[in-house]
Amino acid sequence: MKTSYLTSVLLVILLAPIIIFAQEDSTFIEPPAPPKFDFDFRSFPGMTPKEEKALLKSLKKDLRNELKVIKEFNKNKYFGFLRESQFKNMNFPFIVKREKLIQQREREIFELEVKTEALAAKFEKANKNEKENIKRKLRERLNELFDIKEENRKQEVEELQQELEELKKSLKVRLNNKNEIINRRLQELLHEDKYLEWD
């Protein structure tokens, strides 16, 4: 009798949630679609016409003209390039010669990116006769841009190879002097080196 009572209580406990939730309205309401998101660089991060004018003024005249062409064609790209120009035209007073070369190459790449984008915009608006000429110029610019980017990659590879060689040398020296390095660290940890200081 006790077991049948326990069994019936367990059944009630297990079946009660199923019965309760089964009585709820089972119609599924579709959530509303998310709003369409059209990214606009002008509103993010909040470029004012005054800032736009100041940024344009800091650029070379030919680059300003190219950006105006891009603005007519695609405002998002225009404002993206304008924001990027802030960082490409920064002057760092305390950089070494190698970093100056990298910065100069990055600036060249940026300017060529703008010029190629402007040529692509001009191509869209050009008539049939002008399109071949623009396409030829665009190919020349892209060749130049490719060469500069590959030169950057080549420089990065050379620097990584130098760093790797230095690490290999360091590893070899450390392995050859393993016992001395371990003994020094042991002395530091056990404070046995207090009488071995220079001063």
Asked if pLDDT for residue 122 goes beyond 60, the answer is yes
pLDDT in tens, 125-146: 888 889 999 999 999 999 999 9
Q: With respect to residue 163, please indicate whether it lies within any of the assigned structural domains.
A: yes
Q: Please give the pLDDT value at position 28.
A: 64
Q: With respect to residue 75, please indicate whether it lies within any of the assigned structural domains.
A: yes
> How far are the Cα atoms of 163, 164, 166, 176 from residue 170, in angstroms, in the given order?
10, 10, 6, 10
Q: With respect to residue 178, please indicate whether it lies within any of the assigned structural domains.
A: no
More confident site: 174 or 2: 174
Contact indicator for 62, 69 with CB cutoff of 8 Å? no
> Which amino acid type is present at position 94?
F
Q: With respect to residue 104, please indicate whether it lies within any of the assigned structural domains.
A: yes
Structural domain containing residue 81: 49-169
pTM above 0.75, yes or no: no
Q: Please give the pLDDT value at position 20.
A: 65
Contact indicator for 146, 109 with CB cutoff of 8 Å? no
Write 88-96 long-range contacts (CB < 8 A, 24+). 89/58, 89/59
Q: With respect to residue 23, please indicate whether it lies within any of the assigned structural domains.
A: no
Question: Mean pLDDT across the chain, nearest whole number?
Answer: 82
- Residue 108: closest CA among 156, 152, 56, 61: 152
Q: Please give the pLDDT value at position 82.
A: 85
Q: Please give the pLDDT value at position 142.
A: 95
Asked if pLDDT for residue 13 goes beyond 90, the answer is no
Contact indicator for 47, 81 with CB cutoff of 8 Å? no
Q: With respect to residue 120, please indicate whether it lies within any of the assigned structural domains.
A: yes
pLDDT in tens, 34-65: 666 555 544 545 678 888 888 888 888 888 89
Q: With respect to residue 131, please indicate whether it lies within any of the assigned structural domains.
A: yes
- pLDDT band (50, 70, 90) for residue 102: confident
Q: With respect to residue 13, please indicate whether it lies within any of the assigned structural domains.
A: no
Q: Please give the pLDDT value at position 2.
A: 63
Contact indicator for 78, 60 with CB cutoff of 8 Å? no
Number of domains in the chain: 1
Q: Please give the pLDDT value at position 24.
A: 55
Asked if pLDDT for residue 195 goes beyond 80, the answer is no
